[in-house]
């Protein structure tokens, strides 16, 4: 399956959430969905601990690294490192609205500097070789008029060689709204994002923002988007979003993934991670939503939340939580 095909559905890069443990879990739920790392800044890649920042399990493929930055040379150097590490895609963040990101002159503030984004993209493309470079952006920031800004942005950046964009269909208000508020308060304009699909037939455009179900993802694909990127819903209710994705989005044969099978498959991974010095709660915090909306979900969360932080916590606790779900489901039957 090509990377473009995998991008029909992707899990958005989310700070503090889509780390390697989260991605391993998501990969067990879907073989084909494209997974993104948390954003990592280019300077951190160049000067930080590469194993900590960039390490991932081979099972995570296809997996993309999201970079933050605005210096073409730094981004190119970080892209080379990412390619050497085996990432399938490198994505440039032009969407994050946090104050820390603004002060570093990257993220959504770069919507105001399309020429700089184009220069960064061109440098990254040259460094990436055969690995695809993509861009995740907003429809505009602050007082910008999205109908003017977005097509100009796409035209300039695509001229630098970028062919795939993920558009968070909201403005970002860099003054006056927190990052959390920027995920909810600015109105969504899916229609404008869809217009870009028609305006730029040579590009592949995914839509992002406020998409909360696999049904909604299918509707967006039917409308003409090349891909759909889902964030918080995929994290908080991963089974609902991902377990049926291979069948419904990619037409893959076979049954949907069962969350109980996923728990079993996580055990060897947990054992290996604990042996490498990880704490159980660093892994299980991403598993809390595995049974969301199903009988036993509360018991599952309770057992893991109360016990996973303890120093001797291990796979037995996860199996205890699974058994609590089974008991609840048998009682409800």
Please give the helix or strand (H or E) that residue 82 lies within, else none.
Answer: helix 72-85
> Are 321 and 267 contacting, i.e. CB atoms less than 8 angstroms apart?
no
**Is the omega angle on the peptide bond into residue 62 within 30 degrees of 0, that is, cis?**
yes
For Cα atoms 38, 294, 312, give the angle at the middle one, nearest 5 degrees: 60
Tell me the backbone φ, ψ of residue 170, rounded to 5 degrees. -130, 150
CA 234 to chain centre: 9
Coil, strand or helix at 68: strand
Tokens of 326: 């089974």
> Are 224 and 201 contacting, i.e. CB atoms less than 8 angstroms apart?
no
Among 1, 31, 26, smallest CA distance to 11 is for 26
Coil, strand or helix at 10: strand
Active site residues: 96
Residue-wise DSSP of 187-235:
PP-HHHHHHHHHH-TTSEEEEESS---HHHHHHHHHHT-SEEEE-HHHH
CA dist 42 and 228 (Å) reads 26
In 168-188, which positions are buried (b, 16+ CB within 10 angstroms) versus exposed (e)?
Answer: bbbbbbbeebebeebbeebeb
For Cα atoms 173, 176, 178, give the angle at the middle one, nearest 5 degrees: 75
């Amino acid at each position: 399956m090509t990377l473009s095909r995998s991008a029909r559905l992707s899990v958005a890069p989310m700070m503090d959430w889509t780390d390697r443990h989260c991605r391993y879990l998501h990969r067990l739920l879907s073989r084909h969905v494209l997974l993104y790392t948390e954003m990592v800044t280019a300077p951190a890649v160049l000067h930080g601990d590469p194993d900590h920042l960039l390490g991932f399990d081979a099972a995570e493929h296809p997996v993309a690294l999201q970079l933050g930055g605005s210096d073409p040379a730094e981004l190119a150097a970080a892209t080379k490192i990412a390619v050497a590490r085996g990432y399938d895609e490198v994505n440039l963040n032009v969407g994050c609205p946090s104050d820390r990101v603004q002060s570093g002159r990257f993220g959504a503030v770069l919507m105001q500097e399309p020429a700089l984004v184009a220069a960064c993209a061109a440098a990254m493309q040259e460094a990436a070789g055969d690995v695809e470079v993509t861009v995740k952006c907003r429809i505009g920031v602050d007082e910008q008029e999205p109908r003017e800004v977005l097509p100009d942005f796409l035209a300039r950046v695509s001229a630098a060689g970028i062919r795939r964009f993920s558009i968070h269909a909201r403005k970002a208000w860099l003054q006056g709204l927190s990052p959390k508020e920027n995920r909810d308060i600015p109105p969504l304009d899916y229609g404008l994002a869809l217009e870009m699909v028609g305006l730029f037939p040579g590009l592949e455009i995914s839509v992002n923002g406020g998409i909360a179900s696999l049904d909604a993802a299918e509707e967006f694909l039917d409308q003409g988007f090349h891909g759909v990127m889902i964030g918080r819903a995929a994290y908080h209710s991963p089974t609902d979003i991902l377990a049926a994705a291979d069948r419904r989005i990619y037409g893959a044969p076979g049954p949907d993934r069962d969350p109980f099978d996923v728990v079993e498959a996580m055990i060897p991974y947990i054992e290996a991670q604990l042996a490498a010095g990880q704490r159980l709660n660093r892994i299980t915090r991403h598993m809390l939503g595995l049974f969301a909306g199903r009988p036993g979900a509360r018991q599952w969360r309770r057992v893991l939340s109360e016990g996973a932080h303890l120093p001797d916590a291990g796979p037995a606790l996860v199996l205890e939580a699974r058994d609590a779900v089974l008991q609840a489901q048998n009682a409800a039957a």
